[in-house]
């Protein structure tokens, strides 16, 4: 168990913006931080891998190959725009907000980069959420739909929880990542449907000679 008296760093601008939730952020981060043990940390690291760049990359690569093999180009474009596109936007958001990590020192703390919003959490939200959107239309029974929804939600939950408990992110970093991920998936889905519904312009053959009038 380690000391929870380490400073929670944040810029003055971030403190002013996040003031309504700052107490909750500190309280949750400190509660988990003072209860970290080697065993607990090992479990948390296993959970956080579901949102790691390596795991996301492997699943994305497999899906890209699958859609290319099936020649499912709309699904391929949707996947690339929704998941890597949303993750890139989150990296831009990190630079704009410029929020520091909750803990930057300690036996179990080794984080770099900025905190808002959680990259692992938004990656999990985007990937497993998009997979869910691909699968739901194919499932015929309510039972399997519920199973898939609960599985996707559970994966996002354990990733977000692990990031908070490990001291990598504040509670609001994780909640914002889930919110932004869901909104981005909704926008991508609506845009994809509107593109598919747009009728292609009709091609009218033009003859070189007008038909003679009768």
Q: Can you give the pLDDT at residue 99? A: 85
Query: Region 141-148: what's the mean pLDDT?
Result: 92
Query: Region 117-131: what's the mean pLDDT?
Result: 94
The Cα 111–Cα 127 span in angstroms is 23
What is the torsional sign of CA 48, 54, 56, 59?
negative
Query: Region 22-31: what's the mean pLDDT?
Result: 80
pLDDT beyond 50 at 1: no
Percentage of residues in the chain with pLDDT exceeding 70? Answer: 78
pLDDT beyond 70 at 149: yes
Query: Region 103-110: what's the mean pLDDT?
Result: 64
SS (H, E, C) the chain: CCCCCCCCCCCHHHHHHCHHHHHHHHHHHHHHHCCCCHHHHHHHHHHHHHHCHHHHHHHHHHHHHHHHHHCCHHHHHHHHHHHHHHHHHHHHHHHHHCCCCCCCCCCCCCCCCCCCCCHHHHHHHHHHHHHHHHHHHHCCCHHHHHHHHHHHHHHHHHHHHHHHHCCCCCHHHHHHHHHHHHHHHHHHHHHHHHHHHCCCCCCCCCCCCCCCCC
Q: Can you give the pLDDT at residue 10? A: 45
CB of 100 closer than 8 Å to CB of 116: no
Residues 36-54: b if buried by 16+ CB within 10 A, e if exposed: beeeebeebeebbebbbee
Query: Region 30-41: what's the mean pLDDT?
Result: 83
- Nearest of 45, 54, 202 to residue 109 by alpha carbon: 45
Question: Tokens 């009038």 identify what position?
Answer: 213
Q: Can you give the pLDDT at residue 55? A: 93
Residue 82 banded pLDDT, cuts 50, 70, 90 = very high
CA atoms within 13 A of residue 214's CA, in its CB half-sphere: 1
The alpha-carbon radius of gyration of the chain (Å, integer) is 23
pLDDT beyond 90 at 106: no
> How does the average pLDDT of the chain come out, rounded?
81
Q: Can you give the pLDDT at residue 59? A: 94
CB of 8 closer than 8 Å to CB of 102: yes
Query: Region 127-137: what's the mean pLDDT?
Result: 93
Residue 102 banded pLDDT, cuts 50, 70, 90 = confident
Q: Can you give the pLDDT at residue 2? A: 38
pLDDT beyond 80 at 7: no
């Amino acid at each position: 168990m380690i000391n929870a008296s380490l400073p929670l760093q944040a810029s003055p601008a971030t403190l002013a913006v996040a003031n309504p939730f700052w107490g909750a952020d500190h309280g949750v981060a400190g509660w988990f931080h003072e209860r970290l043990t080697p065993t607990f940390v090992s479990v948390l690291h296993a959970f956080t891998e579901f949102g790691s760049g390596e795991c996301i990359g492997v699943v994305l690569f497999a899906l890209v190959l699958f859609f290319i093999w099936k020649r499912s180009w709309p699904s391929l474009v949707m996947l690339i725009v929704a998941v890597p596109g949303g993750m890139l936007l989150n990296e831009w958001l990190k630079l704009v907000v410029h929020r520091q990590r909750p803990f930057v020192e300690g036996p179990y703390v080794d984080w770099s980069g900025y905190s808002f919003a959680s990259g692992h959490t938004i990656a999990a939200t985007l990937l497993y959420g998009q997979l869910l959107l691909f699968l739901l239309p194919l499932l015929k029974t309510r039972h399997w739909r519920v199973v898939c929804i609960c599985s996707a939600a559970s994966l996002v939950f354990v990733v977000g929880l692990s990031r908070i408990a490990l001291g990598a992110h504040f509670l609001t970093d994780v909640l914002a990542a889930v919110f932004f991920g869901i909104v981005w998936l909704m926008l991508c889905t609506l845009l994809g449907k509107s593109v598919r519904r747009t009728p292609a312009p009709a091609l009218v053959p033009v003859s070189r000679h007008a038909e003679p009038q009768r």
